[in-house]
A and B are shown apart, each in its own frame.
Chain A
Amino acid sequence: MKLLVAVKRVIDYNVKVRVKADETGVETANVKMSMNPFDEIAVEEAVRLLEAGTASEVIAVSMGVQQCQETIRTALAMGADRGIHVKTDEELQPLAVAKLLAKIVEKESPDAVILGKQAIDDDSNQTGQMLAGLLGWSQGTFASKIEIADGKTAVTREIDGGLETVSLALPAVITTDLRLNEPRYASLPNIMKAKKKPIDEMTPDDLGVDVAPRLKTLKVTEPAKREGGVKVETVAELVDKLKNEAGVI
């Protein structure tokens, strides 16, 4: 079976995000960028299915500016076979990304699309579900376990009170949660090998998708600042304050 994984280039999770003074967004100049951590889990899962012989090919897709190719190279170094880059300098919102992915699915006919449950920049948690809706496919979101057999997949999902397992007809869209796996670090030989793997380039126009944003960001501001409080000397004093001052215990 053929698997498509979607990978997003985001500000590295260890970077302290700074809101721009003009409130138009956050500072991205000279900031370290990495693959969205949930997408790393998606790539890892796809590569494991490849290594287990369940999958025969893994295609990594990324969308956005030229540098997204670095993110695709990371996926290729982890073990994906080839890449697709939908190149645009426009802002892409989840609905547009889902529509672009749906067009790529039409061309590539994968048996499943695996992607992170959300990106740690816009925190939308939408793209996978939207893609499944557009394609009329089943969806296994927030997956912590994926089993594939007989044209179906059993997906164990992280829900609020515990775990839920659903059986999905393939093709399906699966979004990954933290417990699914621990992504590998690419080895140097694999990083070298990834440089030779092919990446197809295309544009939203080539795919015939209108990517105009539907949501207008009016401003981006700092959250309310939290002031540091007091230091207490003893545990008894702490418990007293929690009980009588804060009233939380």
Chain B
Amino acid sequence: MTVLVVADHDNSALVPIVLNTVAAAAALGGDVHVLVAGENAGAAAEAASKIAGVAKVLHAESPAYAHQLAETIAPLVVGLAGGYSHILFPSNTTGKNIAPRVAALLDVAQISDIVEVVSEDTFVRPIYAGNAMATVQSSDGTKVITVRGTAFAAAEAEGGSAAVDSIGAADDPGISSFVGQELTKSERPELTAARVIISGGRGMQSGENFEIIEKVADKLGAAVGASRAAVDAGYKPNDYQVGQTGKVVAPELYIAVGISGAIQHLAGMKDSKVIVAINKDEEAPIFSVADYGIVGDLFKLVPELDEELEKQGVKPR
């Protein structure tokens, strides 16, 4: 049994979630190979060869692979599939874009967002935004899987010394091309990658009032989110939304400010390691999931929190 991990990278470095994906591959047992397809991606391939537990790296070079387009990467993976029992992708926007295309071309089901390997054909995955866990069994010859990074402890980035084999590129179907990208320049991390998140709800009363949250966010190196109620009220744009219809997050620390804790919000954040709730209504459902709750007026408490962090010299990690 040999498992292929399709790496996400920017040609010079691997995206960190690749390490978690390799860990999931190792949990299956058998040899782990990593595919690095890119343009001038020698550095990324070398990084893959150093991951502990990787037996071989396949390195494919082509201008068509520079931006990880599904239309060009999928045929390459399909061409390699015969040698593998499982093909794993990180469950990030790159993996989620490519994996189902590969599965369809192989005429197999894809298993999305696994959080546990039960056996080589059985996996646990969240459904209904994590409100239920499904244990599913695949009968397909090749298992195409995306891996939820937060569910598997990262493999060691150093310590391995896998051989790097150059492999040929697949034909470019020529139906899509990369135009450009605009990476968020915010000082704050992106919601789904943040270690700490502080979110505001309808209790914030206006978009301007989010300023007090943003000050705390800067002290903690946190991302700023919002509940659907706050988005619906126009306080923040939709991409701030944490919840079943927004982003599903699992940071180490989640601070919910003026958020009552509607089901649809809880679905998006309840896997956070530590949850703090600040709300004036002591009956608010958010307190039933919060590790630390504080009842009171957020317009008094949040500035106090800001001052206290300052006083105790708390800095972003």
- Whether B100 contacts A125 by the Cβ 8 Å rule is yes
- Whether A160 contacts B192 by the Cβ 8 Å rule is yes
- Whether A162 contacts B308 by the Cβ 8 Å rule is no
Option from A120, A139, A161, A228 in Cβ contact (under 8 Å) with B288: A228
Option from B137, B173, B239 in Cβ contact (under 8 Å) with A218: B137
Any chain B CB within 8 A of the CB of A138?
yes
Classify the secondary structure of B's interface with A: mixed
Option from A130, A142, A160, A239 in Cβ contact (under 8 Å) with B100: A130
- Whether A133 contacts B181 by the Cβ 8 Å rule is no
- Whether B134 contacts A220 by the Cβ 8 Å rule is yes
Q: Which of A12-20, A72-80, A83-91, A194-202 contacts B (4 or more CB under 8 A)?
A: A12-20
Q: Which A residues touch B105, using CB under 8 A? A: 133-134
Q: Which of A43-51, A92-100, A104-112 contacts B (4 or more CB under 8 A)?
A: A92-100
- Whether A239 contacts B308 by the Cβ 8 Å rule is yes
Most buried by B among A37, A161, A223, A243: A161
Q: Which A residues touch B275, using CB under 8 A? A: 226, 229
Please measure, in the bound complex, the distance between the C-alpha atom of A127 and the C-alpha atom of B96, giving whole angstroms: 11
With A95-B104, A242-B253 known as contacts, the answer to whether A166 contacts B264 (CB < 8 A) is: no
Q: Which of B19-27, B39-47, B68-76, B199-207 contacts A (4 or more CB under 8 A)?
A: B68-76
- Whether A141 contacts B96 by the Cβ 8 Å rule is yes
Please measure, in the bound complex, the distance between the C-alpha atom of A137 and the C-alpha atom of B174, giving whole angstroms: 10
Interface size on B, as a range, is: 35 or more
- Whether B138 contacts A142 by the Cβ 8 Å rule is no
- Whether B239 contacts A14 by the Cβ 8 Å rule is no
Interface residues as binary, A98-137 with B (CB distance below 8 Å gives 1, 0 otherwise)? 1000000000000000000000111111111111111011
- Whether B293 contacts A126 by the Cβ 8 Å rule is no
Please measure, in the bound complex, the distance between the C-alpha atom of A161 and the C-alpha atom of B312, giving whole angstroms: 31
- Whether A235 contacts B139 by the Cβ 8 Å rule is no
- Whether A158 contacts B93 by the Cβ 8 Å rule is yes
Any chain B CB within 8 A of the CB of A222?
yes
Most buried by A among B111, B139, B220, B291: B291
Can you list 9 A-B contacts with CB-CB less than 8 angstroms, sorted by A residue number?
A16-B263, A26-B132, A127-B100, A133-B100, A161-B193, A169-B175, A238-B276, A242-B292, A248-B252
List B residues at the A interface (Cβ < 8 Å).
Answer: 15, 67, 69-71, 74, 92-94, 96-105, 107-113, 122, 126-140, 173-184, 190, 192-193, 196, 220, 237-239, 241, 244-246, 252-253, 262-264, 270, 273-276, 282, 287-295, 301, 304-305, 308-309, 312, 314, 317
